[in-house]
Amino acid sequence: MSSPSMGSGLSPKGAAPEKSLIPESVKIVLLVVLLLAVVYLFYSASQTQQQMSTQFAKVTGDIKALQESGTAMENKHAADVEGLKNEIAQAQTAVGSTQDELKKTAQQIRAEGQKTKTELAQTISTKADTTIVQQQVDAAKAEANTKIGQVSTEVGGVKTEVGTVRTDLATTKRDLEGTQRQLIDVRDTLNAAVAKNAAELAALRRKGERDYFEFEIAKKNVATKVQDIQLMITKTDQKKGKFNLTILVDDSKLEKKDRTINEPIQFLVGQSRLRYEVVINWVQAKDRVGGYLSIPKDKELSAERATK
């Protein structure tokens, strides 16, 4: 009898089936592992969802912060624009004020120019009048010399007619006195010429008809002695070249207000009534002024007594 083969994998016919190759314990372990894997997957998904929620909340917060920052920047930009508008409006207002000031300044310059033009025309007219007056002086001198010559001829030719000669001499004397008065008036007119600077003052001195005394006044409301009078400045305006002057003479006070530089100021002094003349040539800051005093040299010839 032959024995079954040891290498066959089949059970003999009628034999009981073999048990499973995976033990029950392994299956249980696998099942537990599978459950643990499912639990881990659920836990991991929960953690992922929580992280995503956190990230979403952070992103939402960042977006809100960006929106708030954008709103703040818009508000700041609007405020800057409004401030810039205000600055532009102020600048326009300042430009308008500057234009008004420029217009006023231009008007003042035109007024000063017109005044200077008028003064120049007056000066030219005065010089022309001075030439005419000089011609009158020459004519008066010639007339006086002619009359004196006539008188001398008549005296030499009519020695016996003493009475007639005396009458003629009296007439001639009166004529000469009238001529002398004319010479005085002409001389006073010539003396009205004003020196505006040192060169012109030197030219007036060379004529030898009047004495000229330069002076400076350094303080306001303080009397300054110039020869036999006193001068006091009470107000100055350097920009307009104007001043107020008080003259103390013969126990009197003469007020000369709103006068301009190079304007002659004449007044009578003493019992003989000599015609003095003050001219202020410049006005500086801090109430400083300077000019000259003009006095006739020939006191008798220049006297303007009140009995005339």
pLDDT in tens, 96-106: 777 788 788 77
Is the pLDDT at 165 greater than 50? The verdict is yes
CATH architecture of 195-308: Sandwich (2.60)
* Rounded average pLDDT over 179-208: 70
pLDDT in tens, 287-308: 899 999 999 988 778 787 754 4
Q: Which two tokens stand for residue 70?
A: 């954008």
Least confident of 4-18, 63-77, 158-172: 4-18
As a whole number, the mean pLDDT across the chain is: 79
Q: pLDDT at position 181, please?
A: 61
Q: Which two tokens stand for residue 56?
A: 């979403």
Q: pLDDT at position 5, please?
A: 46
- Phi, psi dihedrals of residue 104, rounded to the nearest 5°: -60, -45
Distance CA 192, CA 194 (A): 6
CA dihedral defined by 248, 254, 257, 261, rounded to 10 degrees? -60
Q: CB–CB of 224/291 below 8 Å? A: no
Give the whole-number percent of the chain exceeding pLDDT 70: 75
**pLDDT classification of 10: cutoffs 50, 70, 90:** very low
Distance CA 164, CA 157 (A): 12
Is the pLDDT at 269 greater than 50? The verdict is yes
More confidently predicted of 125 and 210 = 210
Domain residue ranges of the chain, discontinuous segments joined by +: 195-308
Burial of 286 (0-12, 13-18, 19+ CB in 10 A): exposed
Strands (E), the chain: 210-217, 224-226, 229-237, 242-249, 252-260, 265-269, 274-284, 288-296
Is the pLDDT at 11 greater than 50? The verdict is no
Distance CA 14, CA 59 (A): 74
More confidently predicted of 150 and 12 = 150
Is the pLDDT at 268 greater than 70? The verdict is yes
Least confident of 79-88, 94-103, 151-160: 151-160
**pLDDT classification of 75: cutoffs 50, 70, 90:** confident
**pLDDT classification of 21: cutoffs 50, 70, 90:** confident
More confidently predicted of 34 and 3 = 34
- Phi, psi dihedrals of residue 259, rounded to the nearest 5°: -95, 155
Given phi > 0 = left and psi -120 to 50 = alpha, else beta, which region is 245?
beta
Least confident of 18-27, 83-92, 260-269: 18-27
Q: pLDDT at position 100, please?
A: 82
Least confident of 49-53, 64-68, 101-105: 101-105
Q: CB–CB of 247/227 below 8 Å? A: no
Q: Which residues contact 235 (CB under 8 A, 6 or more apart)?
A: 220, 243, 244, 257
pLDDT in tens, 201-224: 888 888 888 999 999 998 889 999
pLDDT in tens, 218-264: 888 999 999 999 999 999 999 999 999 999 998 899 999 999 999 99
pTM above 0.85, yes or no: no
